[in-house]
């Protein structure tokens, strides 16, 4: 299991944390002619090899990199503006299936842990997952709706404030679950409702309110689920 955790962590780092928006935009424009596509593929191979920490895993890491590039190539050439959300889901599922296959095929069970135990990798993977990767996932899933409030003034809002608020609330929920304080999640949701939905009520924009509510519930749900899974794996 810990092998899959490490491979999944390398995927999160390579696909979300250490892939700048500049790379994504360039790949979507130039497709296979983009140098960033090949840098992205190389990064995935290096991350997988480093996190597993076994010389015998290098061929498997190379296979992960090659298949990752092939899957991305297909997505870049077939996705359209209207099918972007669908291709995002298909792309991620394909990558995860490859990691599962590698986990089942790799025979060496004596991996180097860099003096760190299994609980560390599980905890770090959970934390990384509920930050930027989850933000991108939620944004992609609810992109089918794009309400714009005519009554709100964007100048009154901090840049990317909603994104950072979502990450912070998920981290709080994650910590609450690991500490066994589920009641604190209710207080957090109530506090956000008072501040956030009070503004939406004043804007009198029902669609925007529903949009924010859906995003909030998905965010809370993912954080609770990840917290529960990590707690179960650690214990």
Chain centre to alpha carbon of residue 121: 16
Give the least confident one: 53-67, 119-133, 142-156, 171-185.
Answer: 142-156
Structure confidence at residue 115 (pLDDT): 53
Mean pLDDT of 212-220: 89
Q: Report the C-alpha gap between 219 and 165 in whole angstroms.
A: 11
Torsion-angle region of 180 (φ positive above 0: left; ψ -120 to 50: alpha; else: beta):
left
Out of 17-26, 44-53, 198-207, 216-225, pick the least confident. Answer: 198-207
Does residue 27 carry a pLDDT above 90?
yes
pLDDT of 158 reads 63
Mean pLDDT of all residues belonging to the chain: 88
Of 189, 171, 184, give the one whose Cα is nearest residue 227. Answer: 171
Q: What is the pLDDT of residue 89?
A: 95
The HSE-up count of residue 8 (CA atoms within 13 Å, CB side) is 21
d(C-alpha 137, C-alpha 130), whole Å: 10
Contact 87, 75 (CB under 8 A): yes
Q: Are 14 and 43 in contact (CB under 8 A)?
A: yes
Identify the sign of the CA torsion 104, 110, 114, 115: positive
Residue 8 backbone dihedrals phi, psi, to 5 degrees: -65, -40
Q: What is the pLDDT of residue 144?
A: 82
pLDDT band at 113 (very low <50, low <70, confident <90, very high): low
pLDDT band at 98 (very low <50, low <70, confident <90, very high): very high
Higher pLDDT, 95 or 206: 95
Q: Grade residue 112 by pLDDT with cuts at 50, 70 and 90.
A: low
pLDDT in tens, 161-200: 788 989 999 999 999 999 999 989 988 888 877 776 666 5
pLDDT higher at 193 or 139: 139
- Is residue 129 within 8 Å of 226, Cβ to Cβ? yes
Whether 107 has a pLDDT exceeding 80, the answer reads no
Q: What's the residue count for the chain?
A: 235
More confident residue, 137 or 199: 137
Percentage above 90 pLDDT, the chain:
67
Which residues lie below 8 Å from residue 24, measured CB to CB, with a gap of 6+? none
């Amino acid at each position: 299991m810990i092998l899959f955790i490490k491979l999944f962590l390398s995927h999160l780092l390579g696909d979300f944390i250490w892939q700048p928006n500049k790379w994504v935009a360039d790949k979507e424009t130039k497709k296979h002619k983009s140098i960033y596509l090949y840098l992205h593929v190389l990064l995935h191979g290096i991350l997988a090899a480093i996190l597993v920490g076994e010389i015998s895993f290098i061929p498997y890491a190379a296979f992960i990199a090659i298949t990752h590039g092939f899957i991305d190539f297909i997505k870049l050439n077939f996705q359209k503006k209207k099918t972007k959300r669908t291709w995002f889901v298909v792309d991620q599922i394909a990558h995860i299936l490859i990691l599962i296959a590698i986990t089942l095929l790799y025979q060496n069970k004596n991996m180097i842990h860099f003096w760190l135990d299994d609980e560390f990798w599980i905890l770090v993977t959970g934390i990384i997952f509920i930050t930027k990767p989850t933000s991108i996932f939620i944004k992609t899933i609810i992109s089918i709706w794009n309400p714009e409030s005519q009554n709100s003034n964007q100048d009154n809002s901090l840049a990317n404030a909603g994104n950072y608020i979502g990450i912070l609330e998920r981290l709080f929920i994650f910590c609450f679950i690991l500490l066994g304080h589920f009641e604190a999640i209710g207080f957090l949701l109530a506090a956000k409702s008072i501040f956030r939905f009070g503004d939406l009520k004043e804007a009198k924009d029902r669609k925007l309110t529903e949009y924010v509510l859906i995003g909030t519930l998905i965010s809370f749900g993912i954080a609770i689920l990840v917290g529960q899974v990590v707690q179960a794996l650690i214990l």
